Chains A and B, each alone.
Chain A
Amino acid sequence: MLIGRRSARNSHTMDKSITLPPDEIFRNLENAKRFAIDIGGSLTKLAYYSTVQHKVAKVRSFDHATKEAASDKLYEISVQEEVTARLHFIKFENAYIETCLDFIKDHLVNTDTKVIKATGGGAHKFKELIERKLGLKVDKEDEMTCLIKGCNFVLRNIPHEAFVYAKHADSEFRFQTTQPDIFPYLLVNIGSGVSIVKVESEDKFERIGGSSIGGGTFWGLGALLTKTKRFDELLQLASKGQHTSVDMLVKDIYGGSYGSLGLTGDLIASSFGKSATADKEFSKEDMAKSLLHMISNDIGQLACLYAKLHNLSRVYFGGFFIRGHPVTMHTITYSINFFTKGEVQALFLRHEGYLGAIGAFLKGAEEDNPNQYSWGENYAGSSGLMSVSPDMNPMQRARSGTFDMLEMDRLERQLVNLPLLQDPSSYIPDTMDLTEDALAREYWLYCFEEALDGVVKRAVASQPDMPEAAQRAEKFRQKYRHKLQTLRQQPFAYGSLTVRSLLDTREHCLNEFNFPDPYSKIKQKENDMALKYYQKAVKSLEELSWEQRQFALVRVELMAFISCEHPERPWLVDSYDQWFERLKGPPHKCALFFVDNSGVDIILGVMPFVRELLSRGTEVVLASNSGPALNDVTNGELQILTERIAAMDPVIQAGLREDRLMLVQSGSSSPCLDLSRLDKVLAMVVRERQTDLVIIEGMGRAIHTNYYAMLSCESLKMAVIKNSWLADRLGGKLFSVVFKYEVPAGKPSQHSAALSPL
């Protein structure tokens, strides 16, 4: 985001980006340091580290000692400036390098920077130019080391970085969930030639093979055969050709398949075999296609053989031959499937083009320990996948073929897997993949577009004292609408499209325009209101019998979400009876409770529930968002609320005092929940306290995400479906209740008979 003096000058319409003002591309240059540059055959990738100032909303209890409560407000909200670290990666054609260097020179304020790390084949060619323009010393880094470092970094930090390509599937891209352990893997880098690298750990890799038949061969032979000099044009030709007119197929030799050897008739027996004897002219398209097949198949076979020899199952492909080209991704994928009979999948990377630059940057930034932090892709500042694909509509292509950006925010907290996930490697947070489900995608994109006016209004209303808020809100509207449009055309732009990613993108865009927490005042009001009813609510619950109370707690918890009449049982998903039976048994050791909304939900729904658990002798860990998202209660707010409740309620007070009730932050600022990216402290607490129950509540965390999440301990997912389309999808109707109590298979508890999961 652009802060301070220049923000007013910026046109935030990405559509004009061929003539994009450089300050839109090279953002936050004022504070930039640690430059790195990767100069390839045609594209330059620049990386730098910078800091951005955010406005963040902070909550604080009024200091009752020195100050009268000016109003009846529960706590004070202040907007503060906070500095966070961000990595910027910009990709542009080599032709622009001089202009770009000039711009950087003019805007670079930070004078500590003395050195620029450089990698890539073109680094030595432009060394003198860079040194003269920037006045920085060019420090060359080993290309392969940078590539691998960059690859490790994106695989570890960007969810949905890797994907499988399937041309004819409903969704071309199938994104892979981040693996807890990324090693070992095989990286097949197809540049001019091919390098096949086995990566065993962060610092250990070996080039185990390679081939001279690579992208340069396609380009070089293609140019000789077709007189077409541009790589992209050659690919275009290839995508239109018929290889069978040039290649000799098995059936051309044997009249059909060669059954005894298992060779089908359509298999290519000899690439260019027909041009050996046929006395005719071959079309450029056909020759280009034949060449593409020949090279892709060859690389595919070599990759498979090396993978087998070294017993590796994850094979990533990169390099300019692959980069964003559906044609080559398709032929490579086909080849891998053919040679391994599906045993090995060809994997591609969303940010493959940036690996060298990222790696060079990391080499230069080692003293900042970038690998000790977790990083998150900033959807607001990043171009999506495939913005350079030749298959995109020409306008879009022309736009973003020129410049492409990736921004990554350093997250305050290091993120790790929830230790209670049954199988971290197969965990997928999102319930529905909108990339693969066209109907669902249509619906949700429409929803978010419809809701945009309301969000804009809310944002403006949240800053009544700031006259330019309306203007900023308008810019937010344009940016987010543009993202939605991009996603409609390229649903895969930021990995799998999900309700979560749509919500998160909206949060990133709001932050971008300094609307750090549009709901802060509403939350404050609601919390204040609810708190007034707390004691009364607790009292009425206390008056119920134990059995009645258990059901009332669940009812109240669910009621908090809706204002209409509570639906009768049986609910859409209803394992209350099993839960109730379980409650008759011994208490849980420790419950981890992911909370949702501010106000009635947290105060009148969650807290009484927590109280009951504490009374049973169960320790409770309350996990709330680190940063704001919609009206979700944040960790900061929850601290204050809990203190206030403790002052009224001896059970909660005792819990806090005896450390049986603990508040932790989730590490997230999303209305949804990714159990594979949680605060490291939370994971530690969960492990130390031998947590044996996980409670997740609310639509965002229990329905949009984690609906199918399998945990290694008992779990309880509670939500009311407040969206009729989604309710319909799940087989219910609006305000259907989901109460899902699950016990992992093979872990029967004392009351196993009653505890079979639904």
Chain B
Amino acid sequence: YNVHSGTEISHTMDKSITLPPDEIFRNLENAKRFAIDIGGSLTKLAYYSTVQHKVAKVRSFDHATKVNRDDKLYEISVQEEVTARLHFIKFENAYIETCLDFIKDHLVNTDTKVIKATGGGAHKFKELIERKLGLKVDKEDEMTCLIKGCNFVLRNIPHEAFVYAKHADSEFRFQTTQPDIFPYLLVNIGSGVSIVKVESEDKFERIGGSSIGGGTFWGLGALLTKTKRFDELLQLASKGQHTSVDMLVKDIYGGSYGSLGLTGDLIASSFGKSATADKEFSKEDMAKSLLHMISNDIGQLACLYAKLHNLSRVYFGGFFIRGHPVTMHTITYSINFFTKGEVQALFLRHEGYLGAIGAFLKGAEEDNPNQYSWGENYAGSSGLMSVSPDMNPMQRARSGTFDMLEMDRLERQLVNLPLLQDPSSYIPDTMDLTEDALAREYWLYCFEEALDGVVKRAVASQPDMPEAAQRAEKFRQKYRHKLQTLRQQPL
């Protein structure tokens, strides 16, 4: 990868706040079909590009025209091959101008005339984008993009969906890809909440919604705590005690309300204590109470709509959820409470990219992206949770700024082996290292130990190329970094 500008790149991801743009916006030379999704605080950019790979090809010797010079069975040659790749980059809206400038400077492909745009911020930045890039901004319906993107990741990325369990051995339990992803319920928690029933690739309906969403947490939280940043509000909430603000069942009845099946610890009235108590409440406690109130409410609504429409798969997304363990936990708790475990709250690894992916797909329909299978390129993609506030601060500061996803178009369309007894429960891997800490330790150690050998093998495979050792070293660094990341974030 990085065929052309490889040497310029510093491969230490740690410095990525000052990450050179060419590390982020890769393969811009051949980029086409731009799409952009501008949310309240983050911009997601998508483009399609081609990459040149060296591929090793084998060929039988042509016995007719050529004499067999040695005793080798077949000939090996290294060729250049061009494959398609989708790039998705996420950055804060603050960087949008810098990013647009960089893209303009490096965009070689002049066929591109249009950029697809979606998201609430699209019209706000329309003029800027058109001026900077010289491309016509073509607005796409937000919900349509979101659903298209969601369908795409569910179909193409194995282990896209996961269940969150805060206190389990592994916080994340990934779901195997279902042969049929439809129908499902998507609960998008942005400023407000949209509850969308998706029945097929092109058929979806917003069956419900609520004005009590992320904006309400943020807005009420800001008024109550004077804390203006969403992340900080979540931080406050994660430290608070809701029981000092909320009125519990036991505060009214002295214990549980047995005949109605209500336990004493159940919240009877959110903020019920602040109605009459003449005291100051801590910011943390109020933020926590607010978080519970909103998560429970959304959870209940989601369950009711799921039941009414007889849907068992419910995915949650939107900025309220996006990579925040705190909100994933409260939503999961709420869903478990209201459905008594019948419905699971599912989250998506690439939830933040759905709109951008969808907008891109809308613009790329002539390339028939849905006819191919795509695979996530682990080398070019940031991992899940890189924006979590609970991560170690250094790491957070780094990747909160930029986040990438790259997907390679696979040469062949991939499907299930028709002989699988139950495709929906088939799990290829025998051992799940995410859930088995001992095994994980062992295997990560193994792969690290083996790395030297692999590097040697790589160099030896290209005796004719003097820079092979240098490239092999870069490989070693990148892979070791990935291993280190996986040790900290096994997901």
Contacts and interface: CB of A to CB of B under 8 A. Distances in A.
A212 B246 contact: yes
Given A216-B275, A223-B275, A276 B301 contact: no
A225 interface: yes
Main SS of chain B's interface residues?
helix
- Which of B144, B272, B275, B304 has the most chain A CB atoms inside 10 A of its CB? B275
A247 interface: yes
A224 B277 CA distance: 11
14 contacts: A191-B269, A193-B272, A211-B296, A219-B271, A219-B276, A220-B270, A246-B219, A262-B206, A269-B191, A271-B211, A272-B219, A277-B228, A293-B211, A309-B307
B216 to A, nearest CB: 5
Given A221-B220, A294-B216, 9 more contacts: A193-B272, A207-B262, A220-B275, A271-B211, A271-B215, A272-B223, A277-B228, A282-B223, A305-B304
Contact of A301 (B144, B208, B296): B208
Given A220-B275, A224-B286, A272 B216 contact: yes
A270 B213 contact: yes
B293 A248 contact: no
Contact of A192 (B141, B214, B219, B252): B252
B223 A121 contact: no
Contacts of B262: 207, 210
Interface stretch (B20-28, B91-99, B253-261, B341-349): B253-261
Interface residues on A, range: 35 or more
Interface in B182-228: 190-192, 194, 206, 208-216, 218-224, 228
Interface string B292-321: 110011001100110110000000000000
Interface string B260-288: 11100001111111111000010000100
A224 B215 contact: no
Interface residues on B, range: 35 or more
Contact of B224 (A225, A254, A297, A309): A225
A293 B141 CA distance: 28
Contacts of A246: 219
Interface in A94-132: 121, 124
B215 A217 contact: no
A212 B301 contact: no
B357 interface: no
Contacts of A124: 254
- Which of B191, B269, B276 has the most chain A CB atoms inside 10 A of its CB? B269
B247 interface: yes
B272 A297 contact: no
A217 B269 contact: yes
B293 A273 contact: no
A246 B223 CA distance: 11
Contacts of A297: 210-211
A144 B253 CA distance: 12
B191 A212 contact: no
B304 A253 contact: no
Contacts of A210: 262
Contacts of B213: 270
A274 B223 CA distance: 11
B123 interface: yes
A630 interface: no
Interface in A201-227: 207, 209-217, 219-225
Contact of A302 (B120, B192, B276, B300): B300
B219 A212 contact: no
A308 interface: yes
Nearest to A274: B219
A382 interface: no
A268 B219 contact: no
A223 B219 CA distance: 16
Contacts, number: 181
A253 to B, nearest CB: 5
Interface of A: 121, 124, 142, 144-145, 191-193, 195, 207, 209-217, 219-225, 229, 231, 246-248, 253-255, 260-263, 268-277, 282, 287, 293-294, 297-298, 301-302, 305-306, 308-309
Nearest to B253: A121
Contacts of B211: 247, 268-271, 273, 293-294, 297
A193 B267 contact: yes
B304 A192 contact: no
Interface in B90-128: 120, 123
B485 to A, nearest CB: 33
B305 A212 contact: no
B304 A221 contact: no
Contact of A225 (B223, B269, B276): B223
Closest 7 CB pairs of A and B: A270-B215, A216-B269, A272-B219, A220-B271, A273-B215, A216-B272, A270-B191
A298 B212 contact: yes
A275 B192 contact: no
B295 to A, nearest CB: 11
B143 interface: yes
Given A220-B273, A248-B191, A301-B301, A269 B215 contact: yes
A260 B246 CA distance: 39
A220 B208 contact: no
B270 A305 contact: no
B86 interface: no
Nearest to B294: A213
B36 interface: no
Contact of B272 (A220, A260, A275, A282): A220
B245 interface: yes
A192 B246 CA distance: 10
Contact of A220 (B206, B214, B228, B269): B269
A269 B206 CA distance: 14
Contact of B297 (A207, A211, A274): A211
Contacts of B190: 270
A217 B268 CA distance: 10
Nearest to B120: A253
- Which of B208, B211, B269, B300 has the most chain A CB atoms inside 10 A of its CB? B211
B269 A192 contact: yes
Given A217-B272, A220-B272, A305-B308, A261 B206 contact: yes
A142 to B, nearest CB: 6
Interface in B216-252: 216, 218-224, 228, 230, 245-247, 252
Contact of B304 (A219, A229, A260, A306): A306
Contacts of A294: 211-212, 216
B269 A212 contact: yes
Contacts of B286: 224
Contacts of B123: 255
A745 B378 CA distance: 78
Contacts of B259: 142, 144-145
A216 B270 contact: yes
A272 B267 CA distance: 22
A234 to B, nearest CB: 9
